[in-house]
Structures are given as structure tokens and as C-alpha cells.
Amino acid sequence: MIKTRLTDYFQIEHPILSAPMAFAAGGKLAAAVTNAGALGLIGGAYGDAQWLSHQFEAAQNAPVGCGFITWNLQKALDASPALLDSILERQPRAMFLSFGDPKPFAQTIINANTPLICQVQSVADARRAIDVGANVVVAQGAEAGGHGETRGTMTIVPEVADIIARSSPKTLLCAAGGIADGRGLAAALALGADGVVVGSRLWASEEALVHPNMLAAALEATGDSTIRSSVMDIARELEWPQRYTARVLKNAFIDRWHGDLDGLIANATEQAALWKDAWQRGEVDTANTFVGEATGLIDDVPPVREIIERLVNGAEEHLGRAAGLVVGTGG
Ligand SMILES: Cc1cc2nc3c(=O)[nH]c(=O)nc-3n(C[C@H](O)[C@H](O)[C@H](O)COP(=O)(O)O)c2cc1C
């Protein structure tokens, strides 16, 4: 067992949270993660109230959390004013906000006695998350699957760890981006994190909502096969702030448009229809497979419980081995 401040805080066995992945992280995945001793989160993403309601039912009362894409949350609330309150009434184990300013929503979440997790991509974001009272800050590196920014996990995690130690020692820290096996979990703890957020590795699980063609493409891919791009956001007609791109598998659609975003914008209506149809059909040359560099560490699609066991057993082994490397006490 690995015990950290994160396991104490959430009263869980393993210092692992599942990423609230748009479309892929439904209630079945989140519940399986929680039932395996970690903490599962439903991917509330752009705030589809009906989908979310089905997914909470699918979680069958397992204590799970829920995530939203922050820059879109006000828009989602304009469309469904009761969205956030109705989720908070379900007493989720945590609310996870990422990609944007959490301030307009933080107090509502904190007032509902719901732990607030803010995923950040920069030092400035980390300071803002601490200021709004986040209980857990997730430092996300660019290796991550899905949306993110440019900092590497290896440096953003210890940099944020130092800021937390100096300015808000009670705040917990998780690392995200590229963590798919025991080595990654052990490394994140060594960098000063209290735990990890795992996306891609759990995306390739029996319980995730992922088209089989996309899983097959990811199993074949190496870490070199991914790219960060805005192509699929333009193709989905989503107004993502420019600073965020998404990591996906390269494909023919990326080859055609990544260097010609203006051309894609000019042809948006036609290309969006093609892309959306391809997504429904799992046609991986046109629609993009959202997965991180960790795709190169993934070669099977096991049940969640097995993935969590491998992560923890592997980390225990690596931490033990690392301790064995120390032969003196320094000076
Ligand atoms: C398929 C997929 C969808 C994602 N969707 C979201 C999302 O809707 N909201 C969010 O906060 N993060 C999302 N992420 C990013 C995760 O929160 C997390 O930072 C990332 O998965 C960690 O890196 P890893 O994929 O290498 O484990 C997504 C990641 C993936 C792989």
C-alpha cells in the first residue's frame, strides 16, 4: 500500500484519481475506479445534463466525482441553469475544474462541502487555484492526452510542489500527464506529488466509453504518434481558448489541416460534418483519437481493477528499488 496525504484526505486506498475524460469517462469507468480503491470521476466535459444524469445512474451510487471544462461552464449554465446545483445535490466525492478561471464557480462548490480539484497548466494557474481555495491542485504536463498546454510534467510538478510548500501547505498536489504505469506513479511521488491523475491508461480499459477502432489505433501507436493540435476543436466547432491544444493520434485529417488552420476555418462547415460523422463511425483517419504520449506504454485493454493494481504494485516495486540505490547519507 502507498499512503499519502491524498489517500488520507479522500479516505481511499491508492493515491490515484481517474481523469474526468470527455465522452470516455462515464459512470461505469468512474465507479470501477472507486471500487478498485482509487477515486473515479465522471467526465462532465461541456455540461450535457442528460448524459450526466445517465452516467451518475450508471455509477450505481459508488462515490464518484465529476469534472467540467471551466471555460465552457458558464455557457453550460446559461443553457441548463440547474446543472451545477443538481450535480452538487448528488454529493459527488469531488468537483474537478480544468481549463479556465475556476473563481466564478469555486465558492459554490466549497459551500456545498464538496472538495474542489483544479487542474492547472501553468504556475500562474496554480497560484490562482490556490487563491480560490482548491483542495487539490493537479499540475498537468503536455504529455497528457486530450486538452492541455506546453509545460512538461517533469518540471511543472516540482515547481508547483514548491509553491504549495511555501504558500499553502495544506493544499494537495497531483501530477497528470504521461502516468500510465508504476514507474510514472513512483516518479510523480518523487517529484513531490501526493498522487496522480490518470487519463490515457484508464481510457484504454474495459469500462471506458471508447470506440474499438480508436482503442486499436492507440494500441498500435508509439508516443511519437501523437501531436498537440487545434484541428479537432475547429472541426468540432468548439470555441476553445487559443492557449489550449489537444493531444491526439496523428492521422490523415491532421496531416491535411494542422499546418493550414485558416484553410480549415474557411471550410469549417463542410469539414465539421465529415469529422462528426467519422467520430460516430470510429473512422480513425478522419476523426481524432484523443490519447496522450502514454499510448506508447499501453498495449492492452484490461479491466480497471487490473490497471490500478499494476500501477500500485509497479510503484511499490520501483520505490523500493530506488530506496535500495541509496548507499550512504550524502556528505
Ligand atoms: C480522452 C481524453 C479526454 C479528456 N477529457 C478531459 C476533460 O473533459 N476534462 C479534463 O479536465 N481533462 C480531460 N482530459 C485530460 C485529463 O484530465 C488528464 O490531464 C490527462 O489524461 C492526463 O494525462 P494522461 O492522459 O497521460 O494520463 C482528457 C484526457 C483524455 C485522454
Ligand 1 pocket test: pick from 18, 21, 304 the residue with the most ligand atoms within 8 Å of its Cβ.
21
Torsion of the alpha carbons at 41, 207, 55 and 209, rounded to the nearest 10: 100
Atom of ligand 1 nearest to the CA of 119: 11
Instruction: Using the mean position of ligand 1's atoms as its centre, give its distance from the Cα of residue 138 in Å.
Output: 12
Residue identified by cell 440547474 is 82
Does residue 271's CB lie within 6 angstroms of at least one atom of ligand 1? no
Any idea where the domains of the chain sit in the sequence?
A: 5-209+298-316, 212-281
Question: Cβ(56) to ligand 1 under 6 A?
Answer: no
Q: Give yes or no for residue 41 CB within 6 A of ligand 1.
A: no
Whose Cα sits closest to atom 31 in ligand 1? Answer: 145
Question: How many whole angstroms from 140 Cα to the centroid of ligand 1?
Answer: 9
CA of 323 to the centre of ligand 1 (A): 31
Spell out the residues 6+ positions from residue 45 whose beta carbon is closer than 8 angstroms to its own: 20, 22, 23, 67, 68, 69
Q: Could you tell me if 72 and 97 are in contact, meaning their C-beta atoms sit under 8 angstroms apart?
A: no
- pLDDT per residue as tens, the chain (331 positions): 999 999 999 999 999 999 999 999 999 999 999 999 999 999 999 999 999 999 999 999 999 999 999 999 999 999 999 999 999 999 999 999 999 999 999 999 999 999 999 999 999 999 999 999 999 999 999 999 999 999 999 999 999 999 999 999 999 999 999 999 999 999 999 999 999 999 999 999 999 999 999 999 999 999 999 999 999 999 999 999 999 999 999 999 999 999 999 999 999 999 999 999 999 999 999 999 999 999 999 999 999 999 999 999 999 999 999 999 999 876 6
Beta-carbon contacts of 293 under 8 Å, excluding residues fewer than 6 positions away, are 143, 145, 178, 223, 226, 247
Residue whose C-alpha is closest to residue 139's, from 154, 120, 125: 120
Superfamily of domain 5-209+298-316 in the CATH hierarchy: Aldolase class I (3.20.20.70)
Return the amino acid letter for 12.
Answer: I
Question: What's the confidence (pLDDT) of residue 127?
Answer: 98
- Establish whether residue 105 lines the binding site of ligand 1, counting it when its CB lies within 6 angstroms of any ligand atom: no
